Chains A and B, each alone.
Chain A
């Protein structure tokens, strides 16, 4: 079913909307939650919460891209749950490694303490990503937005794991240089 038809069902308050959303995007939601959260129960709850959030948000909201909207919702919920996981020390996950990788680009959380600064950095990153080759951009986003494993990225892009690792390392270094040139991430 097309996204606009599914969104139409939400506007009609038909519970079929959830079923069709699951049919189309459950794999996506589960993969994102699974990459970020280490506890199975939390992942299930996170995905369920995302569907509920979608149900509550539409209407009035009318996302232009249902998949991206849902993916962002899952990611946000999963990252919030991850904070709780960490507080309770419930084990490490792949996301810990990915966060460590990102630390090399932008370490200090104080750098983005304001919404304005976060928005500015997001725009800088989007501009930077738009100038990359498709494979570099995809690899970066898969790793640092979807929290995909190196193996999954390699499979998706038809590359070896070593190639993906090398590519990501270069993008991280380059992004760090770029952000610094824009005054982001520099020590005061």
Chain B
């Protein structure tokens, strides 16, 4: 048993009472582990179904909306009537958070990077390719094993054919998933978001150095809604999601 846990055994009743009053597990008998796992899988299954449904809805909306707005237009060209999609893979590299984090480490700069154009994104990736050793991406993936799976599931299998960029991250501890689909709108020269799920997490090692994609607008954006996106890293007290 941990030493500190032993010391805590006789904690003051008033402190325990305070917690007992607010614990969700207090009111009703809590599920045992087996039941919890079953419930957890049910939730996961629901999340997956919901995610697929969301993506399918977005894709359908994206395909239909341009036609509705501009009769005779070519919906297959773009999700947006005047938009140009960014390729899912650029020079064989995928820009994701773990990779970006490794890059930030190397350039020793955690300042927010605001991408204003497709060219800036390409330049950033190019700089990454130049500065990062060949195996960095794979090392980053090894640190965060679930990323590869998510990329394989969503990015390669689905989004690549739609030329979407997918930024993704999965927390190994609590399975929090962070992913979204982006495309570039040439007319307004901003990235646009098709869907977005749980953009915030703190990283699995608790150091808070992991990059967080900060979205300056609310979630559940309408198709073709424009947002500015910053790729940034958060260290300790800087995270405005946790400490607004």
Listed in ascending order, the chain A residues whose CB lies under 8 Å from chain B are: 26-28, 30-31, 34-35, 38, 40, 43, 64-65, 67-69, 71-72, 75-76, 79, 82-83, 93, 99, 102-103, 105-109, 111-112, 118-119, 121-122, 125-126, 129-130, 134, 137-138, 141-142, 144-146, 148, 150-152, 155-157, 160-163, 165-167, 169
Contact = CB atoms under 8 A, between A and B. Distances in A.
12 contacts: A27-B27, A34-B30, A93-B33, A121-B7, A126-B12, A126-B15, A144-B4, A144-B5, A150-B174, A152-B30, A155-B24, A162-B176
Pick from B3, B24, B34, B202 the residue with the most CB of A within 10 Å.
Answer: B3
B206 interface: yes
Secondary structure at the B interface, as helix, strand, loop or mixed, is loop
Contacts of B13: 64-65, 68-69
B239 A65 contact: no
A122 B8 contact: yes
Interface of B: 1-13, 15-20, 22-34, 171, 173-174, 176, 200-202, 206, 208, 239, 241-242
A151 B18 CA distance: 19
A141 B1 contact: no
Nearest to B40: A151
A32 to B, nearest CB: 9
B239 to A, nearest CB: 7
Given A162-B176, A166-B242, A102 B4 contact: yes
Contact of B29 (A31, A82, A109): A31
Contacts of B34: 40
Contact of A107 (B3, B23, B174, B242): B3
B33 A156 contact: no
Contacts of B26: 27-28, 31
A146 B19 contact: yes
B208 A141 contact: no
A63 B102 CA distance: 56
Contacts of B31: 34
Contacts, number: 157
A99 B1 CA distance: 8
Nearest to A113: B3
Nearest to A134: B18
B22 A166 contact: no
Contact of A43 (B15, B22, B25, B32): B32
A68 B13 CA distance: 6
B112 to A, nearest CB: 19
B19 A141 contact: yes
Contacts of A121: 4, 7
A64 B13 CA distance: 9
Nearest to B236: A170
A27 B12 contact: no
A158 B127 CA distance: 41
A99 B7 contact: no
